[in-house]
Amino acid sequence: MEMINLAANKKIPIAAEIVENLPLSDDIYKIILNGQEAAQKAIPGQFISILCKDLVLRRPFSIANVEGESIHIIYKLKGEGTEYISQLKSGEKINFIGPFGNGFNITHQKALLVGAGVGTAPLIFLSKELTKKQIPYILAAGFQKSVDIPELNPDKDYIITEDSSSKYSGLVIDHLEEIINTHKPEKIYSCGPTPVLKYVVEIANKYNIKSELALERKFACGTGVCMGCTIHIRENNEIKNKRICKDGPVFDGGSIVW
Ligand SMILES: Cc1cc2nc3c(=O)[nH]c(=O)nc-3n(C[C@H](O)[C@H](O)[C@H](O)COP(=O)(O)OP(=O)(O)OC[C@H]3O[C@@H](n4cnc5c(N)ncnc54)[C@H](O)[C@@H]3O)c2cc1C
Ligand code: FES
């Protein structure tokens, strides 16, 4: 199946050299790999699919940043695949394909970026692009406990932890309305677990703000063939099946039928 997918997507696996692979907390890591031309093509909200040793299914990860030819990934230890990635050392090779997906539709509107856990990863890349385009933004990121992500600035960003190890405590959604009332964003970009995203859309609707969400679900093929990641999207008064891996992972928050 993989050969068919690769042909359909005209993507060739890249054996990328690992530049760095370091823990940011006890279960969150950051890996930087030499993504070659894939790095130059990537836009925020897109993901790459990593081959984890002999596991049949590649694991999808959002691009957390791009610097020159380097691709940054921030990942949480979950199971066999992420455990394998965490053991890799600088100088070793990692096999990935990508970038895949549509990415965020960046508009010139004051933005609020809402990330929960490793869902913050694509928003870091987005924040870099917004800065380049001189679009003002506020970033709010929620974690269970303290995570040392150098791209986040505690003096500027809202870093919210459930264990109260940062200035703001609780869940990121606990602070959402206060942040909206203070900063009056015109658009919300978000990524994280489904309950967080549902709440973000609810609040965005309440304040009449457009929202774009990067969805994360279990992928099988990850390239649009198996239909294993479909969701319902409202489009022109019709409910349509869309594949998160191929048609997304970014969707207009207001169009998602949860
Ligand atoms: C578009 C997209 C972007 C993602 N970006 C990130 C990221 O930036 N950082 C990060 O830590 N995680 C991210 N994830 C989740 C990540 O893919 C899973 O945590 C990872 O695949 C788990 O693999 P595992 O072998 O360690 O765990 P296992 O639980 O052993 O995985 C078993 C199977 O389930 C799939 N799977 C398990 N959990 C998830 C999940 N939450 N989402 C999708 N597939 C899952 C795996 O691909 C695999 O096929 C993303 C998922 C998607 C769909
Ligand atoms: S995971 Fe196969 S179509 Fe999306």
Sequence ranges of the domains in the chain? 2-100, 111-257
Give the distance (Å) from ligand 1 centre to CA of residue 60.
6
Give the distance (Å) from ligand 2 centre to CA of residue 82.
20
Instruction: Single out the residue of 25, 45, 61 nearest to residue 128, CA to CA.
Output: 45
Q: Which of 85-89, 106-110, 155-159, 162-166 has the lowest mean pLDDT?
A: 162-166
CATH class of the region 2-100: mainly beta
Integer CA distances (angstroms), 190 to 66, 173, 187, 202, 209, in order: 19, 11, 10, 13, 13
Q: Say what the pLDDT of residue 11 is.
A: 79
Using alpha carbons, list the distances in angstroms from residue 15 to 90, 95, 97: 13, 4, 9
Q: What is the pLDDT of residue 154?
A: 92
Taking residues 40-64, what's their average pLDDT?
96
Q: Does 252 score more than 60 pLDDT?
A: yes
Q: How far is the CA of 178 from the centre of ligand 1 (A)?
A: 31
2-100 and 111-257 agree in CATH topology: no
Q: How much is the pLDDT for 10?
A: 64
CATH architecture, domain 111-257: 3-Layer(aba) Sandwich (3.40)
Distance of alpha carbon 201 from alpha carbon 163, whole angstroms: 25
Distance, C-alpha 181 to centroid of its chain: 25
Asked if 99 contacts 48 with a C-beta cutoff of 8 angstroms, the reply is yes
* Residue 55 contacts residue 106 (beta carbons within 8 Å): no
Mean pLDDT lowest among 95-99, 162-166, 247-251: 162-166
Question: What ipTM did this prediction achieve?
Answer: 0.93
Tell me which residues have their CB closer than 6 angstroms to ligand 1: 47, 57, 59-62, 74-76, 78-82, 118, 121, 216-219, 249
Neighbours of 221 (CB within 10 A): 20
Angstrom distance (rounded) from CA 7 to CA 217: 24
Query: Residues near 123 by Cβ (< 8 Å), separated by ≥ 6?
Result: 44, 113, 114, 115, 139, 141, 189, 190, 191
